[in-house]
Structures are given as C-alpha cells and as structure tokens.
Amino acid sequence: MKIDCSHLEIQIASAQENNTQNDQSSEVDQTLQTIERWARKLNPDCISIIKTQTLNDPNLQDLIHACRHFWSKTELRIVIEADQLPDDTSLPEMLEETNCLLEIRADFDAPDIEIIKYHIERWQRTCYFNVVYSVPQSNSREKNVLLANSHLFSLIENDPNSEISLDDHLMLIIRNGEIYYSTRTENIISANCPDSNSDTQLNNDLFNHNKIKLGFCIPSMSMGGVTRSLLTMMNAHCEHNLQWTGIAVRNAFAFDPETARLILEHCPIYSSMDHPDFQGLVTIVGNASQWIVDQSDIVNLWGYTTPVKELNLTDWKKRPMLVVAHGQNEWTRKNIQTSLDYAEESILVSVSKAGIQAFPKEVREQVEVIYNGVDSTHCQPLLGRDEIRRSWGINPETIAVGYIGRFAKEKNVFAAAYAVCESGNNHHAVYVGEGIHQAHVISRVKELCGVHCSILPRTEEIGSVLAGLDCLMSASPSEGGPLSVAEAWFAGCPVVSTPVGFIPELEEKYGPLVKRLPHDPTPAQLAAGVKNAIQRSHIRQRAQEVAFNEFDAVLMVKKYESLLAKKLKESRTTTLIS
C-alpha cells in the first residue's frame, strides 16, 4: 500500500531540546532507519527537514542524502526559523550542492525582517538556491507532534492486517525514529508498514537501480529553442536518474557543428546517411531512429509534420514516446499529430498551458505542463554593460533594443527595427541570431535602421548581450516558450512582447511581467512599448523573481524525471502483469 501525503516533516528532537551530540547522532540514525523502512510506502509531495542551530551539518547532510535517495522526485526543503539563521556560508553552500529549497519561517511584522532578507540576498550572490518565506504558527512544534487535540497517531508496525484511511489526511511527521500522521478523523488509527517482500521482485524487474534511458529523434541539428532546452537539461547541476542515449537526425539540413559539439559532450549524434557538413561529428548507422529506439527506455520524437520513410521503417511500438508541444500554432499541431500517429503509448507534455490546445481534444487532459528551464550560467554576463555597448559602437545614453533568436519572418523579426526607426537616432537595434531567412532579414534591418543597428552571430555569451540591452523585443504572433523572454527575465532585462506562450498564464498568476503588445503591432505601438518598458523597473524585478521560481533548470529536469519514471513504471507494470 502506498500512502500519499502532501507533506512529510522530519524533526530531530534532541537537536531541538539541545541535548548531547551523542543523543543527536543516535536519533539521526533512528530517523535514517525509519526513512529507509518507510520509503517504498510513503509518497510525499514535499519533505521538510527542520534545521536548528544544534543540528550539525554532517547529520543534516545525511538526512538530505537519504531523502534524495528514496524520494528523488519530491521537493525537499530545509526549514529554519529566522532568528536561527547562521552567520557562516555552510548552509547556502549545502543548499546549492543538494538543490534544496530554503524555507524561512519569519514574522513579517518583525523589525529585522528586512535585515534577514538582505542576509539571504548576500548568500544568493555567491550560491544558487531558491528561498520562500512562511509565517510560523504558534506552538507549531507541539501542535504537529504532541498536542492531543491535533489528533496525531503513531503508526505502529506490528499489525499486518491494519489499514490506513487518509481521506482527511494533513501531514506525516518523523520524530524520535517514529512516524506520526495528523488527521481530522476522531478515531485513533494505528497501522504497520506492510510487508514488502511480495513487491521486491516487481520493483527489481522495473528498474533494477538503472537510470531511465532517454533518446531523441529530430530532423536536424541546429541551435533553436528545442536544442537549447535539451542542452539546458543535459547541463543541469543536479543528480538525476536520466541518461541520454543519443540524438538521431534525419539529414544535414541547417547542420550546426558548434551545436553538435555541445551535444557530443553528453551523448552521440546518429544519422542514416552521411554528409560532408557533418564534419565527422555524426555516427552513421543503418536506421538512426531505430537505433535510438533500441537503445532507449523512452524516445522523444519531435520536429516532423509529415511521415517520412525512416520513421515508417522504425518500430515505435517498442518504447513509450515522449511528445512535447513547444509551440501553439498550426505547425505544432501537425508536429504533434505526426508523433501521435507513430506512438502506441505516449507521454504528453507542453511547455505552456496555452500549448495544450495543440493536442487533440481527446488527450488534452493527459498533458503535463513543464516549463523549459533556463541555464542561469548562460545568462550571466562575461563582459560589462559599457564594454559590450562599446563593441556595438553606441554610447551609454543610447537605447538598445534587441532581438535574439532565429531569423525567421514568421516571428515578426523586424519589430525591433521598426521600433528603432520610429523612435529616432538615440535608439539602436541589436540583432543576435541566424536562420534560413538571414540574408533577407539583415538587408531589411539595415534598410530600416541605417547605421543604427548591429547584427551579431548566434553566441553562447547571451548574458553579455542582455546586459548591454535596454529591452528585448519579442513580437512573434505565436510562441511556445518563448525562451529568449525567459532568459531576459533571468538577466533582469525588460521585455516588450505579444501575449504568447507562458506569458499570459504567468501574468495571471504574478501580475504584469512584460510591456504587452497587441498582435501585429504598428511601428508607433512598438516604439511606445520600448519607452514604457524601460521606465517600469518594478516589472523587471518581478519578472526576474518569477524566472528564478519557474524556469529553474533543475526543476525542469526533476519534473521530467518524475513524470517519465511514473509513466515507465506504469508501462512496465502493465507488461509484467499481462
């Protein structure tokens, strides 16, 4: 029996009661044994470890590693009272290393709350971690563990016939090596940790402690939103249970050796036909798609809008297929339908809520929303603002309006140039990217802006570009992400954008995050949008906070890992039973 719970809280009583180090280590050992004993029977959405001044770092690390080992997909928080915040940097370093969320319990009316926030912000300058603030409840420890009227009941392990009804379940607590749960039910309920011997063979058959092998089949190898997202996953700084088996590409169309080399740091690239443009970076096999299917547990098929011979000759029924909506237009709908036509069993994901509409109506309820993560190091500037702007030939007073991404006419790529042309000589357009319409785009931008533009090739140093811009223009009529907006938010660069992709749903949740444009905006509307965006610093700050919370690369990896593990286990369980 699996006990679902919204929250599992881990408390070390001897640490709270300031007992000896031996007492604390003994209770940590008991707690570790309890975690191991109950790991396969508890399914918490969130785990909180209560950190006190006397809970030393080695014992805290042991608890973190145990929770990560047994509940790798569960959000893990380190909870600390505001008045117990340590002075040294061992805690933030541990948070960064273990990818734990820090929860500060503080009274927001207290006069020192701003000092506490400043202390946290200083930590975050050198260590990457996320923090949330909560208001402590009065007598929270007693209420959660000892208070009789809170209806806490010990889960006793000596009654193999008992069952647990958690219809009104609130939370679970591990304390003193025992486990408790809180419920609104008036009846005292005791239960055991059921005998798991009967599940052992099934569990071994399912995973046998191996990683989930994920492969990709895409038409070409060039840098775009999808390949950037793949690289962000592969570069995520966290331990995870995913293994990249490789990427199959159909041909050498738009093949980018630089992108290929970045991918090859993590997995091989395969193709069914050789080409000089591959420059020896691609391994040639008989059927690249079949090769990926045979090597993988799950395959992501993306980028095809019509059937092709190689896909037709591939046995897709051997593996579940990951189908991801990276957009919300007609091309995306055709892409998804093509993938679904090949798949016998599918795992459905969209990078925004709006993208769910690209799936057929009958499967939309099955679609999970997972935002594309952003590689924070990719958004950090290697050059200062003044230095990068000097390289563009502009002075500190000039307003730099940027476009970053694929040079494609369907993205309303000329919007930044129209805004600069409309605004006057103290504005400068900066275009960073490449694409099949590159020659036409460059010619038209220069025609509109004259000398007031800079055209730059695609770069991995996007943080320096964003540091030099005064705002980013994203006027596309349709986007799944858009990734350039998320990167701009991360870097603290104001954004002028149409309401596409994740922008409307996040603004509904957090408030304004961009200066909104209408679809198909006029040059005057574009120019006004730029002027408005650079004057609204509070929106820029809010957008940066949202980016840290919603587009964390580790969060994206963990969500995919959790979803794929769940679906793969369901698939293999069905196969074993049948």
- Give pLDDT, residue 490: 94
* 3-state SS class at 5: strand
The DSSP H or E segment spanning 253 is: none
What pTM value is reported for the model?
0.64
- Domain at 376-551: CATH architecture: 3-Layer(aba) Sandwich (3.40)
Q: Are 344 and 494 in contact (CB under 8 A)?
A: no
Surface-to-core class of residue 80, CB atoms within 10 Å of its CB (0-12 exposed, 13-18 middle, 19+ buried): buried
Do 291 and 257 form a contact (C-beta atoms < 8 A)?
A: no
Q: What is the token pair recorded at 196? A: 């798991």
The tokens of 539 are what?
């929106």
Tell me how far apart the alpha carbons of residues 180 and 173 are, in angstroms, rounded to a whole number: 5
Residues 318/293, Cβ–Cβ less than 8 Å: yes
For the chain, helix (H) and strand (E) counts, in that order, are 21, 24
The angle formed by the CA atoms of residues 15, 20 and 23, to the nearest 5 degrees, is: 70
- Lookup: tokens for 202: 């099934």
Query: Which of 553, 556, 536 lies closest to 495 in space, CA to CA?
Result: 536
- Between CA 289 and CA 273 the distance in angstroms is 12
Which of the following CATH numbers is that of domain 206-373+554-577: 3.20.20, 3.40.50, 1.10.8, 1.10.287? 3.40.50
pLDDT tens digits, the chain, 578 residues: what are they?
456 667 788 888 664 444 556 667 788 888 888 888 878 777 787 889 998 877 888 889 999 999 988 887 788 899 998 888 887 778 888 888 887 888 888 876 667 777 888 888 788 777 767 777 777 654 333 333 323 333 333 443 434 344 444 433 446 777 766 766 554 333 323 233 333 343 333 333 334 346 899 999 999 999 888 999 999 999 998 889 999 999 999 999 989 999 999 999 999 999 998 899 999 899 998 889 999 999 999 999 999 999 999 999 999 988 999 999 999 899 999 999 999 999 999 999 999 999 999 999 999 999 999 999 999 888 999 999 999 999 999 999 999 999 999 898 889 999 999 999 999 889 999 999 988 889 999 999 999 999 999 999 999 899 999 999 999 999 999 888 899 999 999 999 999 999 999 999 999 999 999 999 999 999 999 999 999 999 887 899 999 999 999 999 999 999 999 999 988 887 765 544 44
pLDDT at position 293: 93
Q: How far apart are CA 301 and CA 217, in angstroms?
A: 5
Supply the DSSP symbol for 108: T
pLDDT score for 289: 95
Query: Which pLDDT belongs to residue 176?
Result: 66
